[in-house]
Structure 1
Amino acid sequence: GLFAARRPDGSFADPLARDQALVLWGVSNLILAATSARDDYWHKAYRDLVDADDYRDLAARARAAVEKLPPELPVDRALAIEALGRYALVAKDGGRRRAALALARGHAEALRQVEDGSLEDSALAVYGLIEAGRLLGDDLYASAATRLFRSALRPKWDDRLGVFRTGGPITYTSATTAAVAAALNAVRWHGPADLSKEAVRLYPKFLETVLVRAGLLLSSPLALVPAEYRKDRPDAAFAHPALPSPEKAGTAPVFAGEVRYERGAWRVTHRTFRMAEALFLANVLVRPRDGRADPFLPADRLARLER
């Protein structure tokens, strides 16, 4: 009754709480896309290719797995809130929907107790609390996110370096970067006006430092942008001009495993590409279109949610 990674020899690894939430998020996303009224290429394609009802039983099993192996770490609780929220938006059965919302509330209550953990824990707790507030229609969680941002994240900001300090040598992975970007996006799009303004100021500076100056993004993705999108727009709208071309860098435009600041300079300490972390970061970095961004629960569905 649980989901687990498969090893190369075909055996199962031990199931992790995070695995259950990620499966629920992914399957619920398929149903969301297949039942969306959005009139863009990708959603039209999903409606043509995916029958949402084919995935509802799997989604219900994934929801049960999240309950059977509940997350305990702040990072995993935040991911579970988002996954349970997506499931609640697509569940046809009222009992299952209410059960998912109750689970999400329990994890949100736990995140309210987070004070000052690791940067990744604090950042994703901010994201999870803001999403919980939107999902449950409860300002209590948005207020907790605001307090946590002010007490645990903002004091770590180093304006000279353009990053949040991580403790010890300043180190960023794709996962850490995604957590911070998710928190900043949550605050700038759904936070109070004063903090939103601050997050708007910090967001581009943070990304330029970590992705470009620190080298987490190993080469420029400009070549991947179709010519029709680049028409009448500067290249800088799609890729930072300081990033080397893939030919010059000798590698594809992917995220490195880790960058670190020490002895007054940034360097790539691990070049290993980690698929799951990289995909999460890539999705978090997607800019909103018409007020919509994939890492956040869709407002139109929330407006119709029966709680």
Structure 2
Amino acid sequence: MSTTKRSFAQASNSDPGAQIVMPLRQSRINPPNYTRKRGPPAVVWRQSKHPLPYFANQQLDPEYFPLDIGLPVGGPKMTDGNENAAWNDDDSDNGADIDSDAEGNNENPRPKVKSRAIANTAVAADFKSLKIPGGRPAVAKKISADLDSDDELIVRMKEARYLEKDIAQALVDKGRINYNPKTIGTRWRRLKRALQKRQDDLLDADLTDWHDGDDDVLLQAVAKADAEVQRLKNEIENQKWRMVANNMKNLKPVVNFSQNACRGRYGDLMNGIAKPTPESHPNPGPEILERIKSRQDKEERVAQTAQMSAVEQANIAGNGWSSRQRIYF
């Protein structure tokens, strides 16, 4: 039995009429370094006295912000409006005099070595005239009929039917521009157009002529072009009848004719020798009647399927559901 319960029992035994007093619970003593938990601080909204811009393109209030807040930083401040006042000729001359005095006082002058970073710096104009082992880096060059040495080498090797990779390797071996092989073909086509335009100008000015053998080559080129055009026409014609067969299937799903059948039937219709349809026969036999009945059955099945599809689409559009029971052919 605990001490508290024992004291209560003794008090009740000693004096039955005595009132039992329950002791209060001792309060918890917090340690000295105890930090009381506090809730979040109340939010205090303070309205600025000056209108602050919300977007970057809004103008600043000149009464609150300094006028030079938008000026570039890092340079000397100009008070008289002369932007070049900090870099006048007198300062430049003084600097030159200091350098010359230092060189005169030096008994053993050493040659100035250019910094490696400056020495290795080159612009695109320098690359066009340099010859570097492994080839110069490719830079943009204007296409012109006045060929430079690099373009002249490309034209000569292309006219000799060299491969593009061989032309690119030849340019690298000679220390010229390191072109990608694909770039060689693109540049050759542009150079060829520029040279052809120059040739047209010379023909118009009567400064050049057609020579012996050129006419024979012209006729051969025309024949090859006609053959290629005819091949393209045949491909386009075949594509046309494929489209006709697909359009017939879309317009009338019961039919299923190929491109050759459509092409032959159209030719017979244009020539007036098309075979009559079974429905137009005046006295159809059993075989013809069977064909007609088979075609009608197909059309009915297609119509029923289309009707079922229309009902299902209407259910989906109206109610957002479709029946799980699907009936196919």
TM-score, reference length from structure 2: 0.18
**Which protein is bigger by CA-based radius of gyration?**
2
- Which has the larger share of strand? 1
TM-score, reference length from structure 1: 0.19
- Which has the larger share of helix? 1
